[in-house]
Amino acid sequence: MGMDGGGGKLPYSYAAHQDGGKLVKSFSRVEPRKFGLGLVAGFLLVTCAYFSTAKFDAIHIAMISPISSNAAGIGSLVGAAADTSNSNSKQQFDLGKRDPSMSEEGSKAEVLEKDDGKASPSGSGPDSGRNAPLEDTRRDETFVGDSGDASGVPASSAAANPAAAGGNGEAVPAKDDDAAPAAAGLLPPVSSEEAANGTQESGGLEDEELQVQDAVANPSKRSNDSAAAAAITTPSSSNGSSLAVVHSDPAILPAPAQQIPPATQDVKALADQHVPAIPEVKQADSETTPAREWKPLCDLTSNRRIDWCELDGDVRVLGANASVTLVAPPGADDRTFRAESWRIKPYPRKADPNAMHVVRVVTVQSVSGGGAPACTDRYDVPALVFSDRGYTGNYFHAFTDVILPLFLTARQYAGEVRLLVTDLQAWWVGKFSPVFKAISNYELVDLDKDPRVQCFRHVQVGLTSHDDFSIDPRRAPNGYSMVDFTAFMRATYGLPRGVAAADATKRPRLLLIARARTRRFVNTEEIVRGAERLGFEVVVSEGTHEVAPFAELANSCDAIMGVHGAGLTNMVFVPTGGVVIQVVPLGGLEFVAGYFRGPSRDMGLRYLEYRITPEESTLIDQYPRDHPIFTDPNGIKSKGWESLKDAYLDKQDVRLDMKRFRPTLKKAIAHLRKAKAKATNGGGN
């Protein structure tokens, strides 16, 4: 039997069958209109229930850039259903199943790369972004444009998603598990008005709760997101087009209201209304560059040889009154700035009044802006202030007091440093001009005669000095050593030989320094004959005022020999592996011999020391054998330097006992032959 359903249709019918009278359910035709309305109503009911119970960390909506002819808009669920019936496009929302990628660590980003103003993911024309089904964009997936370069995607995401990096003209979606769970959410640029409306319509209370939950679950994510947003605000793709993206706060849900696509005439205005970029520079300055606590400008205690000062900031040097002034920066307080004044003599003999009394005093001070002279010249390179007076007329002191400290202080700047010289002696500067040209790319400044106010960002007053004719690599910039210094001096004067005894076909050369006035060898010819018998080629020279000729001569020799004196300073030009023989005069002068003993070894040279007997000194011709000058040298020294100098340095010459001296020469030539054999067998030079 049957029942009319009121519409002339029989929705269900029951009949008895011969196989047991089973109930058979059969479908008949149902009216499409009523079925569609029921389906929509049920769909809305399920959707509302889902939104009332589901917990989202964030929902990120990717929009086609407004540069294209049409922009995609996603509205509420009701608007989506209505749009489905009007435009014949099927935008389906699968909200019945939670996406596993929506974790508490935050949703992954959706980014659309643009290529020449067109949306690339669908590749189906100008309207493809508007009419494409939402499931085609695969929520929580990252797309790369057909350029093959994920310009708008963070580097970590691109590296973790090799499929997205390749491009063959099509957009390749990344798998959900390929994207980093903490990747920052990105949105195309929107106008400030739309951003404000979206935030207001989403509900303030719910936003605050979600923000708190996100902050608890991801304490470090917000700071990382901010940095990522600042870095990728306006990246450029490989083809020259610009992809502008802004940071999307994962704690703010999009408003469920319908977003109407902008009209064509509003597209250009919409593209120009970008959310302002995060001021990353100001944040970096405040977070990573805190104000440095004040420290005294000058150091008078750590170095026994020199007082020195170091100034950083707005530093003004006025040569006319020998002042170096640090000006207080804006906003300085007692913790970061103090007014100071120091009187410095920038020469490394501070304990020697005889040397220091001719050195000009330089005033080093820090003042507020009102007390400083105005700049006339500004420089971007640092400056060094030093004196070339003191004992620099002595060849040894020229090196140990200025040349070596200058190398130690300024070499690190590779020429980009200005040298400001007080007490400048033109003849002395001319003598060592190749050194100054190798140290600095700029002309020396005679500070005492310079009326300008020169301004720098960094100034050091007084050169760094470790010890007499010595460098401590542990304290030197870049680990400089005496080997580096000798290599620098050889390069400065264009000397060819870096290693001694490299030529196996020649006899080793011995340079015998013949002093002209004091501490002379009185039997020079006998010394030459004895050295030649042992296998040396001997060259005798006193040296000249010019440095270059004697440097060339010293570099051509494998060994250098002389009585203690400034002439032995030329060992800086002797090739590495050579020999230094220092003859120490009578009078307990072993301590002054140390000026060459340690440095020669530090230069990579073999050091040999020969101490003469009273019979080898010409003092024996002046005083009886029982005179205090022989029996009590310490008593002579106790009377002071001048007494020692007068007795043992100024009035004494040397007559070598060649029989006694011969073993020293043998050690020297044995060392050089060994070095020569090693060079020959090794094929080195």
Residue 351 to residue 305: CA distance in whole angstroms: 7
Residue 118 to residue 114: CA distance in whole angstroms: 6
Residue 317 to residue 335: CA distance in whole angstroms: 25
Tell me: pLDDT of 357 over 60.
yes
More confident: 195 or 321? 321
Please give the single-letter amino acid code of residue 398. A
What ranges make up the beta strands (E) of 514-628? 537-541, 559-563, 579-584, 606-611
* pTM greater than the 0.85 cutoff: no
Tell me: pLDDT of 58 over 50.
no
Residue 32 confidence (pLDDT): 61
- Asked whether the beta carbons of 150 and 239 are under 8 A apart, the reply is no
Residue 53 confidence (pLDDT): 57
The full set of domains in the chain, from first to last, is: 297-474 (no CATH), 486-682 (3.40.50)
How does pLDDT run across 640-654, given as a tens digit for each residue? 989 999 999 999 999
Based on DSSP, count helices (H) and strands (E) in the chain, helices before strands: 23, 19
How does pLDDT run across 607-623, given as a tens digit for each residue? 999 999 999 999 999 99
Tell me: pLDDT of 126 over 60.
no
- Asked whether the beta carbons of 145 and 169 are under 8 A apart, the reply is no
**Dihedral sign (CA 177, 180, 184, 187):** negative
pLDDT cut 90: percent of the chain above it: 50
Helix (H) or strand (E) holding 207: helix 204-217
* Closest-CA residue to 156 (of 147, 167, 166, 165): 165
pLDDT cut 70: percent of the chain above it: 58
* DSSP 8-state code for residue 506: S
* Closest-CA residue to 433 (of 459, 394, 470, 398): 398
Query: From the CA atom positions of the chain, what is the Rg in Å?
Result: 44
Mean pLDDT of the chain, nearest integer: 72
Tell me: pLDDT of 339 over 80.
yes
Residue 502 to residue 512: CA distance in whole angstroms: 20
Tell me: pLDDT of 655 over 50.
yes
Helix spans in 505-645 (H): 524-533, 547-555, 590-602, 628-631, 633-638, 641-644
Mean pLDDT for the stretch of residues 341-360:
96
Candidate from 270-274, 534-538, 584-588 with smallest mean pLDDT: 270-274
Mean pLDDT for the stretch of residues 532-544:
92
Sheet holding 579-584, edge to edge: 537-541, 509-513, 559-563, 579-584, 606-611
Please give the single-letter amino acid code of residue 169. G
Residue 133 confidence (pLDDT): 38
Tell me: pLDDT of 248 over 60.
no
Residue 510 to residue 514: CA distance in whole angstroms: 12
- How are beta strands 383-387 and 509-513 bridged, if at all? unpaired
Q: Which residues of 541-556 are buried (b: 16+ CB within 10 A; e: fewer)?
A: bebeeebeebbebbbb
- Asked whether the beta carbons of 148 and 167 are under 8 A apart, the reply is yes
Residue 304 confidence (pLDDT): 92
Q: From residue 640, give the alpha-carbon distance in Å to each of 585, 615, 627, 635, 646.
A: 18, 25, 19, 10, 10
Largest CA distance in the chain: 159
Mean pLDDT for the stretch of residues 31-56:
70
